[in-house]
């Protein structure tokens, strides 16, 4: 039975496009959802797309395709799609290389929406001198927000938040040893932070971190250009 999906205008309603979580779905279900979003929004994004699933998807021939294997994110765009958040800037910081897949999931979505991403890798608190150098580069970049991914004890986003005057979004990752190695220790460490104002999403939720960053960027861009709302150009 074919499911008829209504026309979706979520980007205008919430500021963030709907994302298809491919995990647990059949190739037919993912393909149908992506095509419906592509036709209604001009952009269709799927997360948790393994290479094996990608090979089985039916992708419209007229779509521009981008696949990030590290973050397992698939982005389809109408050739006439205009990213709504050009001018937005977000820092993406990984405590270690093992955190990159989760950060990459976030960064791929941000870039698909027109946001410039400045990435810093391997700046965990095991090497505080590297973190301090990253902070200097981030300040020079002048981001509207920063997404900070960390596993283990989740300390890096806490320290980073204490040194920056823009919103920092903590992204706990399931990286670590033994008890708490599935991300619980990183999540609780960030939630229990005494560094005020740190925003925290769930473990491995790069899409949620991207959504939070996009909403911050949107508010900043509207403040800079009050007469022109950034929005999807397709009507």
Domain limits of the chain? 10-77, 89-221
Angle of the 206-224 helix axis to the 100-112 helix axis, nearest 10: 40
Cβ atoms 17, 45 nearer than 8 A: yes
pTM, rounded to two decimals: 0.87
Record the tokens describing residue 226, joined without a space: 């009050």
Virtual CA dihedral for 47, 210, 90, 71, nearest 10 degrees? -20
Pairing type for strands 43-47 and 73-77 reads: antiparallel
The pLDDT value recorded for residue 110 is 98
Query: d(Cα 137, Cα 166) in Å, to the nearest integer?
Result: 14
- Our CA angle for 203, 204, 207, nearest 5°, is 115
CATH architecture of 89-221: 3-Layer(aba) Sandwich (3.40)
Residues in the chain: 235
The pLDDT value recorded for residue 1 is 32
The pLDDT value recorded for residue 8 is 43
Q: Where are the beta strands (DSSP E) in 8-121?
A: 19-21, 43-47, 64-68, 73-77, 89-94, 116-121
DSSP assignment of 206-223: HHHHHHHHHHHHHHHHHH
Q: Of 213, 210, 216, nearest to 105 (Cα)?
A: 210
The helix/strand count (H/E) of the chain reads as 8, 9
Pairing type for strands 145-150 and 168-172 reads: parallel
pLDDT in tens, the chain (235 residues): 343 344 445 566 788 999 999 999 999 999 999 999 999 999 999 999 999 999 999 999 999 999 999 999 999 999 999 999 999 999 999 999 999 999 999 999 999 999 999 999 999 988 889 999 999 999 999 999 999 999 999 999 999 999 999 999 999 999 999 888 899 999 999 999 989 999 999 999 999 999 999 999 999 998 765 444 444 444 3
Query: d(Cα 223, Cα 15) in Å, to the nearest integer?
Result: 15
């Amino acid at each position: 039975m074919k499911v008829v999906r209504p026309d979706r205008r979520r980007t205008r309603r919430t500021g963030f496009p709907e994302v298809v979580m491919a995990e647990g779905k059949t190739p037919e279900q993912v393909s149908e959802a992506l095509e419906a979003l592509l036709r209604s929004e001009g952009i269709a994004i799927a997360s948790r797309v393994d290479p094996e699933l990608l090979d089985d998807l039916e992708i419209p021939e007229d779509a521009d395709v981008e696949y990030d294997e590290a973050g397992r994110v698939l982005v389809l765009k109408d050739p006439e799609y205009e990213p709504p958040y050009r001018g937005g800037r977000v820092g993406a910081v990984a405590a270690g290389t093992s955190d990159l897949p989760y950060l990459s999931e976030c960064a791929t979505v941000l870039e698909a929406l027109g946001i410039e991403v400045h990435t810093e890798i391997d700046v965990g608190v095991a090497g505080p001198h590297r973190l301090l150098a990253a902070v200097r580069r981030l300040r020079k970049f002048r981001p509207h927000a920063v997404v900070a991914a960390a596993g283990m004890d989740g300390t890096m986003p806490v320290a980073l938040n204490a040194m920056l005057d823009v919103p920092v979004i903590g992204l706990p990752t399931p990286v670590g040893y033994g008890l708490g190695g599935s991300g619980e220790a990183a999540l609780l460490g960030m939630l229990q932070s005494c560094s005020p104002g740190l925003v925290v999403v769930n473990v491995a939720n790069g899409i949620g971190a991207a959504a939070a960053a996009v909403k911050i960027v949107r508010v900043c861009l509207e403040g800079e250009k009050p007469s022109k709302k950034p929005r999807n150009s397709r009507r």
